[in-house]
Amino acid sequence: MTSATNVEVAQPPPAAPGGTVVPTTRLRVPSRWSFMLRRLGFYLAAAWAAITLNFLIPRMMPGDPSVAIIQQLQRVSGQQLPPETLVSIQALFGNPDANLFEQYLAYLGRLARFDLGTSISRFPTPVADVVSSGLPWTLMLVGSTTVVAFVLGTSLGVLTGWKAGGRLDAILTPASTFISAVPYFWVALLALWVFGFQLDWFPSSGGYDPDAQGVAFWVSALRYGFLPAATIVFSAFGGWLLGMRNMTVTTVREDYVLLAQAKGLSPSRVVLRYAARNAMLPSFTGFALALGGVIGGALLTEIVFSYPGIGYLLYDALTKRDYPVMQGVFLLIALTVLVANLVADSVYVLVDPRVREQG
């Protein structure tokens, strides 16, 4: 994989703080780049697949979504649609007069101009506007909860794995086995019932106080977002904990951990630098798998709390048969997940130097 062009492009790495000169340094650097380039290539291909899937789904469905959408739009607006809208809908959802390849080109052309069609339930707002209004809320909610759940689950996993068979392990491990099997939206319902209605600690629906301005708006957003975020963290951290616990149990019995202990290193250094760093690798690999589940769960959580993110938009679109919004939400989620995975892969390269060597 060490092609000549890559060697020229790659910058020499900063000298390692340890000061040891490794003769293979010049070979290693291009492989790190080639690893990242190959991942980037894969995610570009995946993005293309998501876009194409988004193109194929309405065309493979029984009936003719584009005709249904146009009829609905005419009913909602009460008038003949402007020709530009008709062209847009047919490009996105199927045009019986054009062959599939022509349709595909027209569809890609529409996407390149960020034209995702017109919302039926919020006529005449373009789908792109509807969807992008929900995106920041979901990104904040899912982003923050994913990070918190990962950090919390992983650190508790190290603790329980290090003292496997101890008291903490005896309580936390079965508890998280149970928690990670519970449906997200059911936890959200329970939390809403207990904390929203019984105790009345938190607002029960919405994402912010509609009357608040400026700083008060941000404070209200935090207050409204706390309960949804807490339920997602609660449902998600168990999975990380279990994976990390089992990897730690396996790792602490490796010879190099024994050696680190024999050298008289402090227990915290042995746990964090020797055991945990190695045990964490599968968690990063599992990120792709976990993220899909977290997103799906978060969508449902948003519905329970009527949180103004894209999950609630999707629900709204499903109940009102707003196909353009449905498709727009899917495309957005798919592309966001791909970007998040690319970020996770980049972090992986930093955490595990072996990836750079193998290329």
**326: contact with another protein by CB under 8 A:** yes
Between CA 318 and CA 326, with CA 320 as vertex, the angle to 5 degrees is 40
Query: Where do we find the tokens 């708006």?
Result: 217
Question: Closest separation between CB of residue 337 and another protein, Å?
Answer: 5
Binding part of the chain for another protein, among 7-15, 130-138, 243-251, 351-359 by CB under 8 A, reads: 243-251
Asked whether the beta carbons of 310 and 319 are under 8 A apart, the reply is no
Largest Cα separation within the chain, whole Å, is 82
Asked whether the beta carbons of 338 and 50 are under 8 A apart, the reply is yes
Count the alpha carbons within 13 Å of 14 in the hemisphere toward its beta carbon.
2
Total chain residues near another protein (CB under 8 A)? 66
Question: Closest separation between CB of residue 83 and another protein, Å?
Answer: 26
Binding part of the chain for another protein, among 29-37, 105-113, 324-332, 346-354 by CB under 8 A, reads: 324-332
State which residue, 29 or 341, has the beta carbon closest to another protein.
341
Out of 186, 201, 218, 256, point to the residue binding another protein (CB under 8 A).
186
State which residue, 10 or 250, has the beta carbon closest to another protein.
250
State which residue, 128 or 187, has the beta carbon closest to another protein.
187
**249: contact with another protein by CB under 8 A:** yes
Q: In Å, how far are 44, 288, 334, 335 from 339, measured between CA atoms?
A: 10, 11, 9, 6
Question: Closest separation between CB of residue 190 and another protein, Å?
Answer: 7
287-306: which residues touch another protein (CB under 8 A)? Answer: 288-289, 291-293, 295-296, 299-300, 303-304
Asked whether the beta carbons of 80 and 72 are under 8 A apart, the reply is no
**50: contact with another protein by CB under 8 A:** yes
Handedness of CA 119, 125, 126, 131 (dihedral sign): negative
Could you tell me the two tokens for 57? 């789904």
Query: Distance from CA of residue 38 to its chain's centroid?
Result: 21
**41: contact with another protein by CB under 8 A:** no
Binding part of the chain for another protein, among 128-136, 149-157, 219-227, 330-338 by CB under 8 A, reads: 330-338
Could you tell me the two tokens for 245? 């616990």
State which residue, 58 or 207, has the beta carbon closest to another protein.
58
Out of 33, 55, 65, 128, point to the residue binding another protein (CB under 8 A).
65
At 118 the three-state DSSP class reads strand
Question: Closest separation between CB of residue 70 and another protein, Å?
Answer: 16
